[in-house]
Chains A and B, each alone.
Chain A
Amino acid sequence: EDKVVQSPLSLVVHEGDTVTLNCSYEVTNFRSLLWYKQEKKAPTFLFMLTSSGIEKKSGRLSSILDKKELSSILNITATQTGDSAIYLCAAGGHNNDMRFGAGTRLTVKP
């Protein structure tokens, strides 16, 4: 059965800290890994990764995929209170399906 596991489940940091969120996956015929941010309602897209070792970056956020280790990390540098959210990782297989992990709830304190 396909599985996506995120860690930690919850994280509390102070503004300015750097955080690393982890995602590991076991997906048949893996095609892509996606990161989303969920604040109040719908998840909003952050990154899609398909190739190992190539970092994707957007401002203070970056992510990389390791296909050998079946994992990905999401880094956030110089965290701000607006980064407080649930960060979701989803792994996609050959049917273009997406299975989500449980998410990491990040709280950034002023």
Chain B
Amino acid sequence: EPEVTQTPSHQVTQMGQEVILRCVPISNHLYFYWYRQILGQKVEFLVSFYNNEISEKSEIFDDQFSVERPDGSNFTLKIRSTKLEDSAMYFCASRLRDTEAFFGQGTRLTVV
């Protein structure tokens, strides 16, 4: 069964460092998303991506964040200069139009 794959599963980084979280969505899907979930809190929308551009982003998704789909398969989230409060589980999801979204297993980011 096709699935969304995220790597790494866990990343520890120093405050101020750049991190790139990687996702391989399901191959024929059209819409791609990043969400984050701080431990014990709600799943928060970061950004959606369609037709090779950002279609919507939340107020959390500031200039420190960027997304790319460089080669038609990978979908990456870059955080330029990490802060302690960026520590969270980051989920990637993908879907076709008007269908359920499938989630990856997440990357746990720990900023120290």
Q: Is B45's beta carbon under 8 Å from chain A?
A: yes
Among B11-19, B61-69, B73-81, B89-97, the one that faces the other chain is B89-97
Q: Is B99's beta carbon under 8 Å from chain A?
A: yes
**Total A residues in contact with B, Cβ cutoff 8 Å:** 22
- Taking the closest CB of chain B, its distance from the CB of A73, in whole angstroms, is 18
Size range of the interface on B? 20 to 34
Q: Is A58's beta carbon under 8 Å from chain B?
A: no
Contacts from A to B (Cβ < 8 Å): 31-32, 34, 36, 38, 41-45, 48, 50, 88, 95-103
Known contacts A42-B103, A43-B91, A97-B55; 17 additional CB pairs below 8 A are A34-B101, A41-B89, A42-B91, A43-B43, A50-B98, A88-B43, A95-B48, A95-B55, A96-B30, A96-B31, A96-B48, A96-B98, A97-B45, A98-B33, A99-B45, A100-B45, A102-B41
